[in-house]
Structure 1
Amino acid sequence: MIRTLTDAQRRDWLRLARTENVGPVTFAQLIGRFGEPALALAALPDLARRGGRMSGLRIASEAEAEREFAAGAALGARLIAACEPDFPRALAALDPPPPLIWTRGNPALLDRTCVAVVGARVASAGGQRFARGLAADLGRTGHVVVSGMARGIDGAAHEGALPTGTAAVLGGGIDDVYPPEHRDLYDRIAAEGCVVSESEPGRAAVARDFPRRNRIIAGLSRAVVVVEAELRSGSLITARLAAEQGREVLAVPGSPLDPRARGTNDLIRQGAALCEGVDDVLRALEGLRGFEAPEPPAFQPAPEPEPDDKLRKRVAELLSPTPVSRDELVRATGAPAPAVFAALVELALAGRAELLPGGMISQA
């Protein structure tokens, strides 16, 4: 249900998103169950206790939320909740979407047709030249270029698209400029494009933040182009997430003698479209001409399911470090799906389960 939040609802939405053990999947389940963030917040202690938590759950306070609002306002940043009408539609259609994003600059760019251009941090001069030129060509054809503002390919892509529109998705807070030498680039993107972050202002990025950042890069984009990437590159994670989200994946071929070409060549081997220039991207997008991001899921409260202790125990026993789908857990328990999902939320709040995008669950 698309709606504009009141100040109190926005504060509670932020508090719920910043509460311990509440990731995007748990957040979506809680809003779907209770409808209002205030009702979900009130239920959290009991839900965590039912899941087996012995100590108190750390729930973000009203004061913490107000401090985050103030920090964002001081930067000229804007917080947009996933239910609001100006949340990027392609991002809202993810299952689940990030509960909220901070933006600096012009968030209207995010609802234009976006193409991600990503690749190696330690990139070749030729790779950076290609990324810069491709981004400029995409901009001239009316597309917004999305990337992660890292060294190498990301930075070159942003530079090429600055005159026409580019968005940088950060792993840390909206003010986390990394690498430091990209301060001028960051300032120009904030002034002429858009900077996006799921994290609170002032937060420095750590390793676990980058897969979430990569998911947003892919989620904003109709196509992802990987220019250079080694076989264990984060850019390949972005490409995989894009494929899972139904986006087009393209890769620039390279010499088999260059380790930075192994990842892109492997993507082509697995079925990614070959990219030698903007025409290849436009052809891929032509195939998605009829693509429209679906309406975001309705946040409608459902009748509260009541998993019993026996079901919670059975669900917990079925979990392992290897992710399994929610559907598999429903089949294995033989219980109604809403009750299994409710038990999983309780276990997640207790720190005993991890709810992953794509309907997968693992032992925490």
Structure 2
Amino acid sequence: METTITPTRSPLTAFGDAANESAARHVFQLYQDRRPPNTQRGQRAALKTFTAFLRFCGIAPTGDLYEDPNAWRGITFGLLQAFQLWMVKQGYSVGTVNGRVSTVRFYMGLANQAGHIPDGEILKAQQVKGYSRKEALDLDTRRKAEGTATRRGAKKPQAVTITEEQATALCKVRNDTPQGKRDALLMALFIFHGLRVSEIASLTVESFDMEKRMMTFTRFKTGRVSRHRIRGQAWQRLTAYLQNDHPGSGGLWLASRKGSGELIPGSSMSIQAIGQRVADLGVGIGLDHLSPHDCRHAGATFIASDPKASMAGLMNWGAWESASSASRYIEAGQADNDLVSLGCDE
């Protein structure tokens, strides 16, 4: 009589298998919990578009693609490729197409970790590339010739250009009211310090060390704490606002009364209200559709227009973690031969 010996799993093996199963079930949540709210909103929007594409194809996802790894079972690189082409034909901007393809491809990778998409599909999906700058220009030229839209929605295709003279006008105290001084400070911090609107909205009086002339604030996009030395116009606007019009503590941006320009004690300006105020101030000097990000863009371009500006300095100013994000301002702000002296002799 033969005896069959059945291998037994060690406690460590059993525990490791259980840990793998738990990690697979929660792979989306573990990743999402580490992402800032703006990133989460963008990914939800991308996966909502992908779901719309699947429904257009007559496919009903088995679950929420943002929440449920199992809902990705059956998603292939071919569907990813078709999704990219569908968005192009639907008139999405190239930036949106690239971003949403990247998001879907990334979530395919997470679903692969959970065991729902085979390794081979992931390898193929990595070959579904976004459009390069040259390819994007060629694509939009073809789409325009065919009568296909190159952008959906109300988002501007390009930032509003602000000249140095217009920047000075935006940072000028337009009238001797608390509102006028607040607005001048607001624009000075946007343009000369490049804060994002969420960073501006979070500022308090306590964000400023008046003795050291230093502003400390959180970059919510990266979680980094930044310090900026306040000088020039921004310092003048800050001292005028705090010494004469602000109660001296708490949130920096108090709402104001229409007509009188008086500040409302205990009030605050939301991100949306700040954005609308920037737009209104832009209209006042002939700039339509001005946004807070246009001001940050302008400040970065002013810095990059100086041939002496360093990449490190620009990256620190704008809190960009990659040189590629900052380099586009160098490209826009300088001529290609600004950094060489050949041919300068008269």
TM-score, structure 1 normalization: 0.23
The answer to which structure has the higher strand fraction is 1
TM-score, structure 2 normalization: 0.24
The answer to which structure has the higher helix fraction is 2
Higher relative contact order (CA 8 A, sep 6+): 1
Q: Which structure has the larger Rg?
A: 2
